[in-house]
């Protein structure tokens, strides 16, 4: 049922757990968090947009009353990326699964602001307006991972569990090369569509190949384009100017929160990371614990695109985690 409304040696699967009790309940650690701007603002001052989504229904009527799962995509992604795993999760966990298009991606509305407070605020609106029978379980990949973590810090009573996939609560905006690959994608796409006005998708692919040798990655990027009819100029589904500006300004690689101000300990968190990716290195694990004390980490032998590269391993990890934690709660 569908509705519209991105090296280290292989390690064995790793679990690191930190009991909630050692950090205490959620609370503010600073009396004046104003230096964070509106990162934690939930008074409606952040303009939100209604998100497009696909629904994958539970197998039973009873399942529709369980905690639903929300899946959020990463940069240049959309709700269609998770369709296959969403169907499996809906069946294996017998509950509704919602795949969302974040603002400026897929079929969701475009908005000039593209940062984690705004991305999170949209999802918060979706959850509140959906009026679920139980708190949802949030899954997010890369940009989507930071979005669900931001949501838990901004609206701690909304989620039941978090499953961030190959990203962590750290600011990478000053890291050398952290944005270079993504902005190259935007630049090549804009050249193809705005300057050369290509009508053949093969020409766009050839332009992308100048900066991205991986065919699967290029094919993924090309899903953001409207091919139209023969001889029609190819157009972009997403606002490349807005996305490009957000990348250049470090909005996607940033993390505008402070563990001295807010932590989330209302529920369990499972970080899934790719062993061939460098997004969640061992040295930042202490930072994870500062924000999310009740966490564990699971490793999958994959690159950054964990869900698409190893869908079976991903689904198995999610099913085991959700079933185990629901039994404990």
Above 50 in pLDDT, residue 9? no
* Confidence category of residue 29, pLDDT binned at 50, 70, 90: very low
Please, are residues 81 and 147 in contact by the beta-carbon 8 Å criterion? no
Tell me the mean pLDDT in the region 191-202. Answer: 97
Query: What pLDDT, on the 0 to 100 scale, is given for residue 28?
Result: 44
Q: Let me know if 302 is a catalytic residue.
A: no
Query: What pLDDT, on the 0 to 100 scale, is given for residue 7?
Result: 30
Above 70 in pLDDT, residue 52? yes
Instruction: Assign 283 to helix, strand or coil.
Output: helix
Catalytic residue selected from 78, 302, 304, 308? 304
Above 60 in pLDDT, residue 22? no
Phi, psi of 149 (to 5 degrees): -65, -40
Please, are residues 100 and 138 in contact by the beta-carbon 8 Å criterion? no
Percent of the chain with pLDDT over 90: 84
Query: What pLDDT, on the 0 to 100 scale, is given for residue 328?
Result: 87
How far apart are the two ends of the chain, measured CA to CA in Å?
30
Of 314, 275, 257, the residue nearest 84 (C-alpha)? 314
* Confidence category of residue 175, pLDDT binned at 50, 70, 90: low
Find residue 272's DSSP bridge partners: 165, 298
Above 70 in pLDDT, residue 5? no
Q: Let me know if 304 is a catalytic residue.
A: yes
Tell me the mean pLDDT in the region 226-254. Answer: 95
Query: What pLDDT, on the 0 to 100 scale, is given for residue 178?
Result: 55
Average predicted confidence (pLDDT) for the chain? 90
- Per the listing, tokens 């991972």 go with 145
* Confidence category of residue 44, pLDDT binned at 50, 70, 90: very high
Q: Which domains does the chain have, with CATH numbers?
A: 44-170+255-328 (3.40.50.1820), 177-249 (no CATH)
Catalytic residue selected from 82, 142, 253, 262? 142
Above 90 in pLDDT, residue 12? no
* Confidence category of residue 3, pLDDT binned at 50, 70, 90: very low
> What stretches of the chain show up as alpha helix (H) in DSSP?
83-92, 116-130, 143-154, 180-190, 201-209, 215-222, 240-248, 285-291, 306-309, 311-328
- pLDDT of 93-146, one tens digit each? 999 999 999 999 999 999 999 999 999 999 999 999 999 999 999 999 999 999
* Confidence category of residue 173, pLDDT binned at 50, 70, 90: confident
Query: What pLDDT, on the 0 to 100 scale, is given for residue 278?
Result: 92
* Confidence category of residue 32, pLDDT binned at 50, 70, 90: low
């Amino acid at each position: 049922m569908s509705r519209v409304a991105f090296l280290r040696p292989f390690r064995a699967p790793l679990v690191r757990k930190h009991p909630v009790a050692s950090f205490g309940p959620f609370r503010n650690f600073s009396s004046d968090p104003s230096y964070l701007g509106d990162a934690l603002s939930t008074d409606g001052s952040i303009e939100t947009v209604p998100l497009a989504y696909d629904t994958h229904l539970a197998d039973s009527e009873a399942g529709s009353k369980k905690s639903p799962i929300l899946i959020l995509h990463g940069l240049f992604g959309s709700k269609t990326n998770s369709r296959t795993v969403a169907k499996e999760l809906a069946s294996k966990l017998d509950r509704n699964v919602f795949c969302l298009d974040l603002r400026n991606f897929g079929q969701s509305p475009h908005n000039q602001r593209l940062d984690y407070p705004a991305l999170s605020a949209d999802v918060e609106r979706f959850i509140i307006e959906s009026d679920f029978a139980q708190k949802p379980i949030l899954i997010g990949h890369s940009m989507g991972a930071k979005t669900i973590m931001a949501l838990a810090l901004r609206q701690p009573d909304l989620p039941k569990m978090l499953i961030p996939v190959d990203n962590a609560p750290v600011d990478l905006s000053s890291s050398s090369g952290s944005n270079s690959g993504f902005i190259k994608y935007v630049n090549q796409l804009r050249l193809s569509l705005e300057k050369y006005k290509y009508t053949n998708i093969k020409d766009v692919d050839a332009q992308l190949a100048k900066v991205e040798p991986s065919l699967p990655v290029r094919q993924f990027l090309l899903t953001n384009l409207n091919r139209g009819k023969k001889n029609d100029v190819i157009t972009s589904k997403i606002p490349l100017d807005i996305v490009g500006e957000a990348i250049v300004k470090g909005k996607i690689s940033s993390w505008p929160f402070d563990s001295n101000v807010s932590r989330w300990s209302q529920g369990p968190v499972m970080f899934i990371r790719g062993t061939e990716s460098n997004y969640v290195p061992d040295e930042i694990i202490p930072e994870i614990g500062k924000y999310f004390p009740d966490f564990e980490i699971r490793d999958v032998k994959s690159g950054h695109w964990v869900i698409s590269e190893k869908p079976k391993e991903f689904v198995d990890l999610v099913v085991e985690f959700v079933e185990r934690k629901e039994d404990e709660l």
